[in-house]
Structure 1
Amino acid sequence: MYQDRDPNNTKFVLDRINQTEKYLGSICLQFGKVCRKEARLRDCNDSLAQNMFEFADRERINTTLRQSLQQYASYLSAVEDYRNTLITRIENQILEPLAKYGEVLKIKRQAVQKAINARDKGAQRQRKLQQATSRNPGNRDAIVAMQVNAEYAQTESSRADNVVQDEIDKFEQMKLTDIKKYLTDFTLINLAFHARAMEMYTYAHQQLLNIDIARDLEEFRTAAPFHRLHPSQRSVSETALNNPKRTTGGALSGQHSGSMSVLPDHRRDEELGSRHSLPADTRPYRGGSFENDDYRKPQSARGGLHSSSPTHEHSSKHGTSTSATSKQKTVKQNIPELISSNSSDSDD
């Protein structure tokens, strides 16, 4: 009965040991990868925080941005300090004990192998006893000695089997306890890290809310070397540009009329002429020459906006100017010449 049951027991125990060794070793390797990746992430975030510190130190214009960057970088650096604590705890509480499981499994396998050897030794002595009894049943001394050796081997095999059963039972209990402890520690370590990280990120977000964009932009505009419009002038310009009724001609004429409206009446009359003066001669071309015409004269001779000296005097009583009278005389003198030229053309 013992010989029939013992091979199944040892095979079952060896299967459990091999399965535990395979998967616990793989889990240990994955925890090592987690620690290495967390370490790389810690280094990257430390570099990011260092760049933010350098940027804040070199910032001289935007005050609120500089202060917020310094505080944000300090909180980010604190998060990475907690991440470093997470890595250290995983290494000490999980990786090192899991790495020691190789030695524990090696001891358990040796105990199982010892039990297998004792079982094989007892089975071998039992076979020798049966052979001696069948071949030479009259040799009582040899048969008694073989019986004693076979019983001793069977006792040793039974003791080794009991030891293996006790060891594998303790091993299963230790494995279940340790796996539960390691995974619980890993969960609590991550919860502690993320709780502290959430707190630090909350403070960092509050620092970002302290950035006053309008204030920093005004400081930049004040410190900029190029000229910018005053805010009141800029608002007037934006209103004029965004006016949907605005046209090019209207805007220019409005601007010109606006600049003229600020001048006093007597100054505007002196610079631009009387408001009641007649415009330039607008009669169409009816033949003849342009020698006595105003169309070929320079603008300064015709009078107008660019006259070098004021030559018109306003007459409030009659509503006419001297320049208008002179132009009317010129027109009357040119009428007989035009009539004579037209009659000569008709005779021809």
Structure 2
Amino acid sequence: MQKTKITKWSQSYVTCKRQTLLNAESELQKAAQNANVGSKALDEQILKFESEKLKDLKQVLKDFVHVEMAFHAKALEYYSRCFESINHINEEMDLEEFERKLQASRGPGWQAMILNQTLSSGSGMSSTQASGFVTSPESTGSFGESTTSFEKRVGFTGQSMYDDDDDDDDDDEDDDDDEDLPTRR
């Protein structure tokens, strides 16, 4: 009898363990399925995020390159105008104007004054004469205004490369278009 009791007990124990094992296996399968579903959903979200990130990065880089190209195009226009202006400089006329201003700054009779100072000092040149700039009562010590302005000599107006507002209007219209777009979060 005891043997049958032990046998029954061992059979019920084995059956119970088998049932527990089957329950554990079924829970494991459910957990594995849930993990697969979650993994697939996570993979989809990662791919969607990466796709949006690449699109945004591409747009940022395109905008940056566009702005840089516009800046360099404007700089190239400016440098082209500068190059043309430099080519139009008349060296002879510029040198004549410089000489005229130099003589005007010394005032009338500057040569006679130098001669008188040289003769009276007896030592040769005075410090004022050595500097090359002698003032007289008529001279203000400045070079004065030129009748030939810088713009006339080189044919260049003081226009800056940033003065063109025509392109800004187009940019404002583009900015208005951006406001209509939905924002991504």
TM over 0.5: no
Structure of greater relative contact order (alpha carbons < 8 Å, 6+ residues apart)? 2
Look at both structures and tell me which one has the larger radius of gyration over its CA atoms.
1
Task: Give the alignment's TM-score, normalised by structure 2.
Answer: 0.40
Task: Give the alignment's TM-score, normalised by structure 1.
Answer: 0.23
